[in-house]
Chain A
Amino acid sequence: MSNKRKRMDTLYRWMTYVASSIAVIVLSMIFIFVFKNGISLLNWDLIVNDYHAQFYNGGLPETVTFGTTVAPEDLDSNVYYSEKWGLALEDDLDREGNPMITVAFITADSPLHNINDKNNIDNEEFELNIGNVVTSIKFNDKPSALTVQGAENMIASLDASNDFREIVFSSLGGGIRGSLITTLYLIGITLALALPLGIFTAIYLNEFSKQNKITNLLRSMIEVLTGVPSIVFGLMGLAVFVPLTVRFTPADSANILSGSLTLAVILLPIIIRSTEESLKVVPDDFRNASLALGANNTQTTFKIVLPSALPGILTATLLAIGRIIGESAALIFAIGTAVKDDISIFGKSTSLAVHIWSLMTDEPANIELASTIALIILMIVLILNISVKLISKRFIRRFE
Chain B
Amino acid sequence: MENIIFEIHNLDLYYGKFQALKNISLNIEKNKVTALIGPSGCGKSTFLRSLNRMNDLIDTCNIEGDVLYNSENVYNQKYDVINLRSKVGMVFQKPNPFPMSIYDNIAYGPRCQGVKDKKTLDTIVEKSLKSAALFDEVRNRLKESAMGLSGGQQQRLCIARAIAMEPEVILMDEPTSALDPIATLKIEELMNELKKEYTIVIVTHSMQQAARISDVTAFFLMGELIEVDETNKIFTQPKIKETEDYITGRFG
Contact = CB atoms under 8 A, between A and B. Distances in A.
B59 A211 contact: yes
Interface string B92-134: 1010111110000000110011000000000000000000000
Interface stretch (A9-17, A32-40, A272-280, A285-293): A285-293
B5 to A, nearest CB: 17
Given A292-B85, A294-B85, A303 B92 contact: no
B87 to A, nearest CB: 8
Interface string A208-236: 00110000000000000000000000000
A299 B82 CA distance: 12
B54 A291 contact: yes
Given A285-B96, A286-B96, A307-B99, A293 B59 contact: no
A110 interface: no
A361 B97 CA distance: 59
B108 A399 contact: no
Contacts of A400: 99, 145, 147
> Most chain-B CB neighbours within 10 Å: which of A286, A293, A304, A398?
A293
A308 interface: yes
A3 interface: no
A210 B145 CA distance: 33
Given A294-B165, A400-B99, A400-B147, A303 B94 contact: no
Contacts of B89: 292-293
B94 A285 contact: yes
B82 A296 contact: yes
B99 A293 contact: no
A293 B84 CA distance: 10
A289 B108 CA distance: 11
A304 B85 contact: no
A295 interface: yes
B148 to A, nearest CB: 9
Contacts of B97: 289
Interface in B35-51: none
Interface in A298-314: 299, 303-304, 307-308
B52 to A, nearest CB: 7
Contacts of A286: 96, 98-99
A82 to B, nearest CB: 72
Nearest to A300: B112
B90 interface: yes
B196 to A, nearest CB: 22
Contacts of A292: 52, 54, 85, 89-90, 92, 162
Contact of A293 (B100, B109, B147): B109
B236 interface: no
B86 to A, nearest CB: 3
Contacts of B82: 294-296
B57 A291 contact: yes
Interface in B214-246: none
Nearest to A282: B99
Interface string A242-285: 00000000000000000000000000000000000000000101
B67 interface: no
B161 A293 contact: yes
Contacts of B147: 399-400
Nearest to B93: A285
A289 B57 contact: no
Contacts of B83: 294
A147 B78 CA distance: 89
A140 to B, nearest CB: 81
A292 B108 CA distance: 12
Nearest to A211: B59
Interface in B9-40: none
Contacts of B92: 285, 288-289, 292
B57 A294 contact: no
28 contacts: A285-B96, A288-B57, A288-B92, A288-B96, A289-B97, A290-B98, A291-B57, A292-B54, A293-B85, A293-B86, A293-B108, A293-B109, A293-B161, A293-B165, A294-B86, A294-B109, A294-B113, A294-B165, A295-B82, A295-B108, A295-B112, A299-B112, A304-B98, A307-B99, A308-B99, A399-B99, A399-B145, A400-B147
Smallest CB-CB A-B distances: 6 pairs: A294-B86, A399-B99, A285-B96, A292-B90, A293-B109, A295-B112
